[in-house]
Amino acid sequence: MKIVIVDYGSGNLRSVQRSFERAGFPSEITRDPNIVAEASHLVVPGVGAFSDCMDNLEKLGLLEPIRDFIQAEKPYLGICLGLQILFSEGTEFGAKPGLGILPGQVVRFPKTDLKVPHMGWNQIRIQQETPLLKNIPNGSYFYFVHSYYGAPKEKNCIATTTDYGVSFPSAVAQGRLFACQFHPEKSQALGRKLLENFAKL
């Protein structure tokens, strides 16, 4: 097993790595496209802007290795931006193409009385059973920090939803791909359980 965490200049990489270590699984942080290609399990975490993420991945030569990895149906875990870049297009700071794995857009929360970014603990509602949600109860709380979310055209990829002014997809799943808008590395025991489930794929 070779769990690889992609480093494209975003923060929180070490916290993701430490969470895997606490779950009993060593992992490697890299920005080397060859190491990405050799991974058995790939993790793309991230905080920040969609367009910056895509630009950095392109500059580092990581877009094609990530796309190839997913299309080879190997285990992929996207966290926050690692979920958003799967979509056809992001809308933050103007339209920007994503990886195009999932048809749909990344959109901002609509204006309501609720503060944006959506920050803190919130519940997930499980919409489909996936291996990564094994032994994670429906209604569990996970930690979120985001202003945008993915809106897929095809609803059958939605794994969980969460309510924050609107009901939005908080995780997606397709084959051995799983991506969550929440942060498992900040979500204590249940977050570690999700990472453990991923490592065991």
Q: Please list the active-site residues.
A: 80, 183, 185
Distance separating alpha carbons of residues 149 and 169, to the nearest angstrom: 7
What is the spatial distance between Cα 15 and Cα 152, in angstroms, rounded to a whole number? Answer: 28
DSSP string, 159-187: EEEEEESEEEEEEEEETTEEEESSBGGGS
Q: Rounded to an integer, what distance in angstroms lies between the CA atom of residue 131 and that of residue 176? A: 9
Tokens of 179: 């991506």
Q: For the chain, what is the total number of helices (H) and then of strands (E)?
A: 6, 14
* Alpha helices, H only, 72-132: 81-84
| Residue 15, amino acid | S
